[in-house]
Structure 1
Amino acid sequence: MKGRRETRTAVVVGAGLAGLTAATGLAARGIGVTVLEARDRVGGRTHGIEVAPGRWIDAGAAYLGDRHTELLALLGELGLKTTPTAMLGASRFALGAARGGEPTTRDGRFPPLNAVALGDLFELLDELTTTVRPEAPWLTPGAERLDTLTAAEWAEQHLTHPDARLFFPLFLGEMMAADPAAVSVLHLAFYLRSGGGLRYLNAFEGGAQQDRITGGAHLVCERLADRLGARVRLGEPVRAVHQDADGVTALTAHGSYRADVAVLALPPVLADAIEHRPGLPLRRAGERTARGCAVKASLVYPAPVWRDHGLSGWSVNARGPLLSTVDDTPPEGRPGVLTGFVTGAEAHRFAALDPAQQREAAARQAAQLFPMLPEPIGCHITDWVNEPYSQGCYAALLGPGDWLRHGPALTAPSGRVHWAGTETSTAYFGLMEGAIRSGHRVVAEILARG
């Protein structure tokens, strides 16, 4: 634009996938960048845990599929490989436990519930999903009604069979770490559509959970940060962002950082918690925007002994804390790692326990599901519910009214402030792919400023 000063510097707030994608993209085009990260590590909602020397698991985001093209391209650029998600063997289901039954073993992943009732549930969800406009959910036909109703209220109105009512919150917990009472029907339908559809999101082979990143997803951010070197500053939570006619200043406890533009690669609630001067024309989150409800409990054993018994390590359970489990054993085959997902309302209950109680509850339930298990040699609890610089995981949960009020301004810059993060991507919202795409979008926006 004539008369507008060329953008030469940018300050990026947040060193997760979105922030580091934006920062490296800008740096590669000659723009000076500084990345400010509140934590003492990069990675955001990707986080690796070393369970044995040189053997890592994902305590945060983990899975990808063949449609995640930007992530796959980035892995190739960084020299990283993928490992197929191990799903060989039978599954365990403790769905009858709510009615006093014992866990059962079943081939495949389809639960031992009424097939007609679950088929009807999936058809209803498919109908919702296909009506959504993923690029602009607020323009979906009937959006006002869908954005007013919670998923729990929708289930109360449409699900009559007890098996469908039992399975629905477990499904939402697995797919989007959500309590049905916390999300609008519009957000539920959008999330499924954005991620590639119900069947793609829920699938391992040929789906969104087909592969893991060899060595851990955290390696992506670590290698991006290595390219930036000292331009990434850890332990610098940003308290305020002030704009004026000439630039923007990010303020932390340790100093101030001046630039032409800022990129805020943060979840909506955290973006709102920063003092903005002048104030934002519209807040990034609403009163009913909730944090993603997920805790990961990773139990470590000398070996994946469930495999010797023809089991995949996959389970689905009506009672918590572990509402599902998956085989997270490193590709080397040792040690054995069984990761339990604590999601939805159960995540809040579990997160309130002290660490010893959490470990005991997780190990006890794992032993009930897989009686052949020895005592675990390690247990790693990753509480995303109370993580102060993520405010939940997999992503923020948009409640009633959020899409209609905040959706139209989702990506619009606020003066010199640009927005990134998986919650700003209408493609693959909540996934690593969405975070990377948001970083690319922000680079294009800033370059277009001139």
Structure 2
Amino acid sequence: MNGTRMRVVVVGAGLAGLTAAVDLVNAGAVVTVLEARDRVGGRMHGIPVSSGISADGGAAYLGVRHTELLAQLREYGLGVASTEMAGDSTFLMAGQRTTTPGRVPPLGAVALGDLFDRLDEIVASVRTDAPWLSPDAERLDRISVAQWAADVIDHPDAQTFLPLFLGEMMAADPASISVLHMAFYLSSGGGIRYLNAFEGGAQQWRIDGGSHLLCEALADRLGDRVRLDRPVLAIEQDRDGVTVACGPDSEGISTTYRADRVVVAIPPLLAQQIEFRPGLPEPRATAATGRGCAVKVHLSYPSPIWRDSGLSGWSVSAQGPLLSTVDDSPPDESVGILTGFVTGAAASAFSAMSEAEQREAALAHTRRLFPQLPAPSQCTVTDWLSETYSKGCYAALFGPGDWLRLGPSLIEPHGRVHWAGTETSLEFFGLMEGAIRSGRRVAAEMIAAGISQTDSRKVVSR
């Protein structure tokens, strides 16, 4: 850079973009973060459920293997809250409500064991460093999980459980993802048992106070480098740099920003909507790429009163809308929070309802699950499928053919344009940990590409 400081525009103020921005500023870059929403955080979003208390409307859980996330929490003085739950689980299967001390639904143990054996076999065959180069990758990426299940799963209990499992783990409908994507996702996240576990697993903790606090802390460190209400429409490269064009903000004003390099840290379906000049050699998403099918419902009570009946708040239902619920109450029990998950095909149907219909359907399901509970004081719905600047949650769903088409160019820079976001991480894809690792990767990539070594003083204190 001949002694000058690299100018970088970061598109997206989610966890990946903010992480990259802080690292780049610390390396001496002049950074501007452009965010289309009126808030930071992306798919990490705090939902007010009581006075001074928020629940996680999006990404929420973490475990001991999420080392980069834990390090950031320590750096910003944030803590974790245990997800440990005491009491019986509730199940609603074939219209029948049962409770049991365990968390395994009342389905055939042999059938579920056989299902997990088959899943383990496929997961073990996939290369997480390059899924598209896995043995039999072409066949595994060609067929959907629904097709695979129809061919290899005979027992009705296993057929019932698979979509519930994939909905909880991936927010996916088996018909919308390839077998290769399922196997990669489960392997990338640490394996089936780690991803599925609370104690000792990927769901061991929540960020105390809400995961959005981490993004707000990162944004506070960046200060006025973060510009909200800046939807990016076009990115044009020339011999001397890059021009980033933003569409009209809430006041109808369009803006442009000039930079040496750009980090695009938004979901693939959003990146695909940006006009790139010159055009991308490979797309960021295809017609097969789907939205993460997740809707979260938060039910608020004066306290976790289900515990008085010996219940944990954990439930699983074979039919929607609330395919599972979990106790997300704060450690001081100052309010009771039941979080319901609407995922997979049920999420698509739920998202098509009006707000009033969504609320009534969620409350009716809750009455069937927990008939001893009074009506909640508040019911909030966070519908990620309808979020313009997310296009789904937890992460994009790679459909048949996507990994072979998109995988090789997933992190390959397009000239001066670099890529971040949890969907670009081959480690912990779809998780907060994956987002942070992608931000760290892209910042290191750009630092190596040209930030001046003669002006690398740290602008942001660590």
Q: Same fold (TM over 0.5)?
A: yes
SS in 2 for 1:119: helix
Q: What does 1:188-207 correspond to in 2, within 5 Å?
A: 188-207=182-201
Q: What one-letter code is carried by the residue in structure 1 that aligns with 2:130?
A: A
Q: What does 1:252-401 correspond to in 2, within 5 Å?
A: 252-253=246-247, 254-401=254-401
Q: Write the deviation string for residues 364-395 of structure 1: whole angstroms up to 9, x where unpaired.
A: 11111011110111011000011010010000
Which residue, 62, 66, 69 being the options, matches 1:71? Answer: 69
Q: What does 1:6-85 correspond to in 2, within 5 Å?
A: 8-85=6-83
Contact 2:5/2:28 (8 A) holds in 1: no
Percent of pairs identical after alignment? 64
Which residue, 135, 159, 172 being the options, matches 2:166? Answer: 172
* C-alpha distance in structure 2 between counterparts of 1:334 and 1:347, whole Å: 30
Structure 1 residue 4: deviation in Å? 8.4
Q: Write the deviation string for residues 310-348 of structure 1: whole angstroms up to 9, x where unpaired.
A: 111011101110000001112220211111100011101
Q: What one-letter code is carried by the residue in structure 2 that aligns with 1:350?
A: F
Which residue, 217, 220, 223 being the options, matches 1:223? Answer: 217
Q: What one-letter code is carried by the residue in structure 2 that aligns with 1:181?
A: A
Q: After the TM superposition, list the runs of 4 or more consecutive aligned residues in structure 1 that deviate by more than 2 angstroms.
A: 3-7
User: For residue 186 of structure 1, what is the aligned residue in structure 2?
Assistant: 180
User: For residue 232 of structure 1, what is the aligned residue in structure 2?
Assistant: 226
The answer as to 2:141 corresponding to 1:151 is no
Structure 1 residue 222: deviation in Å? 0.2
Point out where structure 2 has 5 or more consecutive residues left out of the alignment.
248-253, 451-462
Q: What one-letter code is carried by the residue in structure 1 that aligns with 2:259?
A: A
SS in 1 for 2:127: coil
User: For residue 107 of structure 1, what is the aligned residue in structure 2?
Assistant: 101
The answer as to 2:409 corresponding to 1:448 is no
* C-alpha distance in structure 1 between counterparts of 2:321 and 2:120, whole Å: 29
Contact 1:86/1:327 (8 A) holds in 2: no
* C-alpha distance in structure 2 between counterparts of 1:139 and 1:7, whole Å: 39
Structure 1 residue 6: deviation in Å? 6.2
TM-score computed with the length of structure 2 as normaliser: 0.95
Structure 1 residue 86: deviation in Å? 3.3
* C-alpha distance in structure 1 between counterparts of 2:274 and 2:180, whole Å: 28
Structure 1 residue 7: deviation in Å? 5.8
Structure 1 residue 303: deviation in Å? 1.5
Q: How many pairs were matched up?
A: 444
Structure 1 residue 96: deviation in Å? 2.5
Structure 1 residue 5: deviation in Å? 8.8
Point out where structure 1 has 5 or more consecutive residues left out of the alignment.
none
Which residue, 197, 214, 222 being the options, matches 2:208? Answer: 214
